[in-house]
Amino acid sequence: MSSRNEFVEPSVKLFEGERWLVITGILGFILAAGIAFIIFFQGRIILPEGNLGDAFSFNAAIGIYILSIAAILPLARLEARKRKAFRWLFIISALYGYAIETIQNFRGFDPRFSREGSVVDIIGGMVFGVVSLVLVILALLLAIQFFRIKYPIERPLLMTGIRYAFISILIANIAGIWMILLQDRFTGDTGNIIVLHGIGFHALQTLIFLGWLLEKVQFNGRIKKLLIHYGSISWTLSILLIGFQTLLDRTVFELTTLPIISGILLLVWLGTVIVASVLFIKDWRTKALKTNYVSSNQG
């Protein structure tokens, strides 16, 4: 038996059938780019509470999150009706988030926890909280669906990355609920919950990208499985340590035990990505050389 796994083109592709989710995700980047342009000329602070920097980061973050959901939703094996429900709930929630985050910051008010705005602004922030909870529930239901998929799995390495990613997203969502309950993103003297919230969600890119790279490579299957597990576990443990540090009301950017170990674990994840990337590039070059050789012989 060959120790190398031949890559077979999957029947279900990333982003397949999710044009509207992709458009919604791209809209977030367009808004973020426009806000960045305005920040360059007039700065980020709009009194009394507005911060265009927050609007920029939110729109970009939601944009990449929705694009990531668009990528993996075709792999969830959902019935057409359920998949449509997920799609439009994500789209509507994202559009409301784009609107209130952008409009309120340009008006000079905190879109979530305004202390200077009118009753309408406060109600808008409360609805924003409800929309955030909808996104939490959608992520939880989607995670359950992915963990319920039984073997044989068509794209096992990618699916492994997705499952680990949802563990990280669960932690990020807990951080989001924490902020809603506190009515603030800061805890204690230096703890910043938004760091945990933001980094946790990036698992949808970091771990899925690792799985995608590994499934494209013709290499020893056992080593590829070890790489996806080592990389994903390291990332997840790093997020947990960031969570513990935040629970202690401490910043994650200090040189103490938990942040240092968390950083080392992130380096382990990065190492698996580098190894996978090297294997991918090497494999691509080998295929290119074979193609050129065949073409030259035919010529």
Is the domain of 42 the same as that of 137?
yes
Q: Is residue 80 part of a domain?
A: yes
Pair 124, 43 in one domain = yes
Mark residue 77 as left, alpha or beta (left: phi above 0; alpha: psi -120 to 50; beta: remaining). Answer: left
Last residue of a domain, one of 99, 125, 149: 149
| Number of other residues whose CB lies within 10 A of the CB of residue 286 | 11
Written in H, E and C, the secondary structure of the chain is CCCECCCCCCCCCCCCCCHHHHHHHHHHHHHHHHHHHHHHHHCCEECCCEEHHHHHHHHHHHHHHHHHHHHHHHHHCCCHHHHHHHHHHHHHHHHHHHHHHHHHHHHCCCCCCCCCCCHHHHHHHHHHHHHHHHHHHHHHHHHHHHHHCCCCCCCHHHHHHHHHHHHHHHHHHHHHHHHHHHCCCEECCCEEHHHHHHHHHCHHHHHHHHHHHHHHCCCEHHHHHHHHHHHHHHHHHHHHHHHHHHHCCCCCCCCCHHHHHHHHHHHHHHHHHHHHHHHHHHHHHHHHHHHHHHHHHHC
Q: Which two tokens stand for residue 225?
A: 């499985």
The structure tokens 């540090």 sit at: 245
Contacts of 243 (CB under 8 A, 6+ apart): 171, 174, 175, 196
pLDDT given for residue 60 in this prediction:
96
Tell me, yes or no, whether 285 and 158 share the same domain.
yes
Say if CB 90 and CB 66 are below 8 A apart: yes
CA distance 228 to 234: 10
Closest by CA to 201, choosing from 172, 234, 243, 244, is 172
Query: Quick one: 98 and 59 in the same domain?
Result: yes
Q: Say if residue 42 is in the same domain as residue 108.
A: yes
Instruction: Kindly state whether residue 98 falls inside one of the protein's structural domains.
Output: yes
Q: Are residues 84 and 180 in the same domain?
A: no
Tell me which of 149, 168, 187 is where a domain ends.
Answer: 149
Phi, psi of 244 (to 5 degrees): -65, -40
Q: Would you state the pLDDT for residue 219?
A: 86
Tell me what pLDDT residue 1 has. 38
Domain end: 133, 149, 165, which one? 149
Q: In this structure, is residue 281 part of a structural domain?
A: yes
Enclosing domain of residue 74 = 17-149
Inside any domain, residue 176: yes
191 and 223 assigned to the same domain: yes
The answer to whether the CB of 122 falls within 8 A of the CB of 172 is no
41 and 143 share one domain: yes
* CA atoms 102, 108, 113, 116: torsion sign: negative
User: Does residue 2 fall inside a structural domain?
Assistant: no
How many structural domains comprise the chain? 2
- What confidence score (pLDDT) does residue 218 get? 87
Same domain, yes or no: 68 and 184: no
Q: At 118, which amino acid appears?
A: S
Does residue 4 lie within any of the structural domains? Answer: no
What are the 10-residue block averages of pLDDT along the chain, 299 residues in total?
A: 51 92 98 97 93 95 97 95 97 98 95 88 92 94 95 89 97 91 86 93 95 92 95 98 95 95 98 96 81 61
What is the model's pLDDT at position 184?
A: 80
**Based on the domain organization, do 280 and 205 belong to the same domain?**
yes
Same domain membership, residue 243 and residue 201: yes
Whether residues 183 and 89 share a domain: the answer is no
pLDDT given for residue 101 in this prediction = 96
Q: Does some domain include residue 47?
A: yes
| 229 part of a folded domain | yes
Given this model, what pLDDT does residue 152 score?
78
